[in-house]
Structure 1
């Protein structure tokens, strides 16, 4: 079993609906755990969105204490990752992949556990939805949405290069084009329809993460 520390409900749904069913065929059982990060007044704790690295680290170390895990990984968005997270303050000048890979190395070094396989999504899981533009357009019955998402992804140089600005991050772009978009439902549905091989083919950083997970399976 592989524990997956997820940023929120969208990421949890991506694991349960998409990644777990795909990877179980390879002998990998993914089990998500969601960060509980907010306590609204008069209500239960909220899920998703974390402002401090200490919260992530606490939950990571708690997961890693479980000896039943073959590995523990993360499904955290690079967009909005706490600025006090290891590697964020000294990110190199270069491509988005260079920067996020640097952060992942620093996370691994900081945690210092042989079973920890950090993964930070470029730039959000909605990047995967950009890859599934056609499937999302079919799901919401809006072919023009699919065309525009494809255009923006192509212009950026691929879905993972759609950037992380407050107004231009993948989720912000999708919501601007389709205000009825429901992150926790519509995105996972589209990505499930796209399928793992197709997503790996257009998202190299995601592909490397999947390769690392598959390497856990004895040959």
Structure 2
């Protein structure tokens, strides 16, 4: 889930929301083994993870150029991790990406998955510690 996607977060933290989700699932579903339910609330949009390697935005073929590259690098440089890129709904990662590219050249549903695949899971995990911790937890389930 995307933290900013919660309409009624009501000042709750990410951890609060994850606990609320777990409590809701447990309350409304019978016979669930809670060891295998671990909600993950990503603080910001999926597109934030793409800032793990801005060079891979080159796959937006119609809009990629040196200016776009510099704008994306500048955005990334403002934050300690890609997961921190957001200040409001108006400055969400997807909005920043749209602003960096010429109008109409970026399509998040088309380009996002391609860019993510080009970046690779290992690089995203290296740059995004919250996401990495969640993936590590999923991997541990597979080994348990």
Structures share fold, TM-score greater than 0.5: yes
Q: Is the 8 A contact 1:79 1:164 kept in 2?
A: no
Change (3 A) 1:143 1:108: farther
Alignment CA distance shift 1:187-1:143 (3 Å): farther
Tell me the distance in 1 between the aligned counterparts of 2:44 and 2:96: 12
- Corresponding residue for 2:83? 160
Matched, 1:100 2:14: yes
d(CA) in 1 for partners of 2:81 and 2:66? 19
Corresponding position of 2:29: none
Bigger relative CO (Cα 8 Å, ≥ 6 apart):
2
Q: Hey, what does 1:3 align to over in structure 2?
A: none
Deviations 1:111-136 (A, max 9, x none): 22413221222200010122231101
**Closer, same or farther: CA 147–105 of 1 in aligned 2, 3 Å:** farther
Unaligned runs of 5+ in 2: 27-31
Quote the offset at 1:156 in angstroms: 2.1
Q: Whose helix proportion is higher, 1 or 2?
A: 2
Deviation at 1:110, TM superposition (A): 2.7
Shift of 1:164: 4.7
Task: Figure out how many residues of one structure are paired with residues of the other and give that number.
Answer: 133
Distance in 1 between the 2:114 and 2:66 partners? 16
Matches within 5 A, 1:46-125: 76-83=1-8, 88-91=9-12, 99-112=13-26, 113=32, 114=34, 115-125=36-46
C-alpha distance in 2 between matches for 1:129 and 1:193: 10
Aligned equivalents of 2:71, 2:96: Cα separation in 1: 10
- Give the RMSD, CA atoms, in angstroms: 1.9
Residue 218 of structure 1: aligned partner: 143
Specify the alignment match of 2:93 in structure 1: 170
Q: For the residues of structure 2 that align with 1:100 and 1:195, how far apart are their CA atoms? A: 25
CA contact (8 A) 1:132 1:191 kept: no
Matched with 1:182 is: 107
Local SS of the residue matching 1:197: helix
The structure-2 alpha-carbon separation of the partners of 1:149 and 1:201, relative to structure 1 and needing over 3 Å to count, comes to: same
TM-score relative to the length of structure 1: 0.55
